[in-house]
A and B are shown apart, each in its own frame.
Chain A
Amino acid sequence: AQKVTQAQTEISVVEKEDVTLDCVYETRDTTYYLFWYKQPPSGELVFLIRRNSFDEQNEISGRYSWNFQKSTSSFNFTITASQVVDSAVYFCALSLGSGYSTLTFGKGTMLLVSP
């Protein structure tokens, strides 16, 4: 069975600080996908990124960056120069190799960015 652990329940930072959200996953499969979603107060889940298990290249998108390390089964998410609008719950998730596989989510990390 798959498992995703987000050990940080809640993080509070002041605007412009950098913040890293941790994600550790467990699976016996060799083909899998990792995701990050953002859930703002409005409630809708917003897709941020997908990585497959064969691509460990780190990714940067604006102020967001992701560090995928298979050796430690981690897929951490860093927000650089955080902004108030980044305040949300962030979920890490995993799906197996099938294109239609269900997502296994972590319990989420609530990020609060204060002005």
Chain B
Amino acid sequence: GAGVSQSPSNKVTEKGKDVELRCDPISGHTALYWYRQSLGQGLEFLIYFQGNSAPDKSGLPSDRFSAERTGGSVSTLTIQRTQQEDSAVYLCASSSGKGTATNYGYTFGSGTRLTVV
């Protein structure tokens, strides 16, 4: 597609439930990133996929968080047994890794606003 698509745009879930957040990157972008934006905080890196390489999971805050990327395209971020502190906006970005003079190729989606009640 023309941009990075994330779904759902909003998700309200009960504490303890599992949630899945989806990211559809720009076609042909080999790199995909997940970030989390909590209230009053900057954007926190979660996980990064690059082609067929093993993902960089160094930013995942706990083992309740996992992500996969199927066929080098769509990615799903799963949060198990959600907690109230998981409430945040989850942003996905994709990149071609090719820079130009005006754009480094990172394109962000509109995010999924997750609220855990």
Residues of A within 8 A of B (CB): 4, 6, 33, 35, 37, 42-45, 47, 49-50, 91, 93, 95, 99-100, 102-108
Contact: B50 with A100, CB < 8 Å? yes
Given A33-B104, A35-B104, A103-B33: 7 more A-B contacts, CB < 8 Å: A6-B42, A42-B110, A47-B107, A100-B50, A100-B95, A100-B97, A105-B42
B98 to chain A: which residues have CB within 8 Å? Answer: 99
CB nearest neighbor in A for B109 = A44
Total interface residues on B, using CB and 8 Å? 32
Contact: B108 with A107, CB < 8 Å? no
Q: How far is the CA of A49 from the CA of B103 in the complex (A)?
A: 7
CB nearest neighbor in A for B56 = A102
Q: How far is the CA of A91 from the CA of B105 in the complex (A)?
A: 17
B105 to chain A: which residues have CB within 8 Å? Answer: 99
A105 to chain B: which residues have CB within 8 Å? Answer: 35, 42-44
Q: Which of B86-116 contact A (CB under 8 A)?
A: 89, 91, 93, 95, 97-99, 102-111, 113
Q: Identify which of B35, B107, B111 contacts A43 (C-beta below 8 A).
A: B111
Known A-B contacts A99-B98, A100-B31; A50 and B108 likewise in contact (beta carbons under 8 Å): no
